[in-house]
Amino acid sequence: MTPLQPVRGMRDLIGEDARRHRHVIDTARRTALLWGFEEWETPVLEDTRVFSRTLGDTSDVVTKEMYSFEDRGGEQVTLRPENTAGVCRALVSNGLTQNLPQKVFYAGPMFRYERPQKGRYRQFHQIGIETLGAAEPLADAEAIACGWEILNALGVAGGTVLEVNTLGDGESRAAWRAALVSFLKRHEEALSEDSRQRLARNPLRVLDSKDERDRAIVADAPDIFAHLTEGARAHWEGVLGLLDAFGVPHRVNPRIVRGLDYYSHTAFEFVTDRLGAQGTVMAGGRYDGLVEEMGGPPTPSVGWAAGVERLAMLLPEAPSLPAPVAVIPVGATAEAAALGVLSALRRAGIRAEMAFRGTVKRRMERANRAGARAAVILGEAEIAAGIAQVKDLATGAQEAVPLDLLPQRLAS
């Protein structure tokens, strides 16, 4: 019988991979909590409209990449391709739009049917934060600074650069879009086929093109700064000043865009070249119209998402497991007492293990192979005296320790 394999583009997380993955999420969760973000957990499966409304009916994610299907009740549902939309849906459906701002952290699996590549899978995982109901530049800067702090806590900030741009307000964006379309129309014949299609339906996305011909053309395209209203310019300058105050290094990249109309003002990406070609490890921005798309009131919001797999690949080393303590009974009659010691050590937060079977010699060999730091040896004589022999497996030193003091003795 042919062994079964994972579905293409999905993978098992085992051993070091699992430890790297967990370390990224635990570090982000701990840091986000210090910054005032509370964790929300939304369903993996959502009404398809949560994403078709918010990602755009013509976007690649909606048209090509979503895992969508009709369930047994005839409902159109989708495995979430991202989680900002789900968080905004949860804000509205749980009646929280009257209790703003809400600062949210999330972590979990997302699903996109795309070509698997380095650091990118069809089931992938993201961490993210969202500040819902705050229009001030401080909300933008705080979200970015929290992301920077998470990268620092993971030890990967040194190889990462923050690039930031503004999309302005609605008036700024409309003027810029008109100028951009006019410019691109003059070069339409030289654009790639994909960019010609984008020019017709979502012209800002032409600035995202990876095609070298397109990149040469858009290098001379108008940027938004000449079209910013007074209010939009004040917001932009406020964000930059606050990033300086938070101590977050950054550079302006006028080619960072978001294609949908509910995005506004700040857009940013943390990028690195440590994964081969320059890649994005964290990206986000302001999306003041998204909650309204969910049926809620106008709610200014800002946030970001980061790929756990990519961050895990950037970790300088995999987190190690704590070295265990091996409990070794001498003879069958010592087994019951050994189980009591094993439980006491575990309740004290000490990683402790006992082999299921084997002679004392074999159990000691197993303890050494497992990298145990100490062995707790219990025989009938020790049990009668209320002690155990504790052997340091690094130095070979051995001492008798009262049974009730074992957790204290082995705590370090």
pLDDT at 145 over 80: yes
Q: What is the band of 63 on the pLDDT scale with cuts at 50, 70, 90?
A: low
Q: What is the band of 159 on the pLDDT scale with cuts at 50, 70, 90?
A: confident
- Class of residue 32 by CB neighbours under 10 A (exposed 0-12, middle 13-18, buried 19+): buried
pLDDT at 355 over 60: yes
Using alpha carbons, list the distances in angstroms from residue 248 to 148, 210, 241, 243: 7, 28, 10, 5
165: phi then psi, degrees, rounded to nearest 5: -145, 170
Q: What's the pLDDT score for residue 278? A: 57
Q: Which pLDDT tens digit goes with each residue over 11-20?
A: 999 999 999 9
Q: CA-based diameter of the chain, in Å? A: 94
Q: What's the pLDDT score for residue 176? A: 87
Q: Higher-confidence residue: 196 or 123?
A: 123
Is residue 311 within 8 A of residue 319, CB to CB? The reply is no
Mean pLDDT, residues 78-82 taken together: 94
Q: Which sequence spans correspond to the domains of the chain?
A: 16-169+229-314, 325-409
pLDDT at 388 over 80: yes
The class level of CATH for 325-409 reads: alpha beta
Q: What's the pLDDT score for residue 263? A: 84
pLDDT at 87 over 60: yes
Q: What is the band of 170 on the pLDDT scale with cuts at 50, 70, 90?
A: confident
pLDDT at 199 over 60: yes
Radius of gyration of the chain from Cα atoms? 28
- Spatial strand order in the sheet of 352-353: 352-353, 325-329, 374-378, 387-392, 398-402
Compute the distance between CA of residue 25 and CA of residue 15 in angstroms, rounded to an integer. Answer: 16
Compute the distance between CA of residue 112 and CA of residue 13 in angstroms, rounded to an integer. Answer: 18
Q: What architecture is domain 16-169+229-314?
A: 2-Layer Sandwich (3.30)
What is the distance, to the nearest Å, from the Cα of residue 180 to the centroid of all Cα atoms in its chain? 34
CB 127: neighbour CB atoms within 10 A? 25
CB 303: neighbour CB atoms within 10 A? 27
Q: Which pLDDT tens digit goes with each residue over 212-228?
A: 887 888 888 888 898 99
- What average pLDDT is seen over the chain? 91
Is residue 138 within 8 A of residue 8, CB to CB? The reply is no
Is residue 129 within 8 A of residue 103, CB to CB? The reply is yes
Q: What's the pLDDT score for residue 275? A: 76
Is residue 387 within 8 A of residue 402, CB to CB? The reply is yes
Going by the DSSP 8-state scheme, the letter that residue 324 receives in this structure is P
Using alpha carbons, list the distances in angstroms from residue 9 to 114, 121, 124, 382: 8, 5, 9, 55
pLDDT at 124 over 90: yes
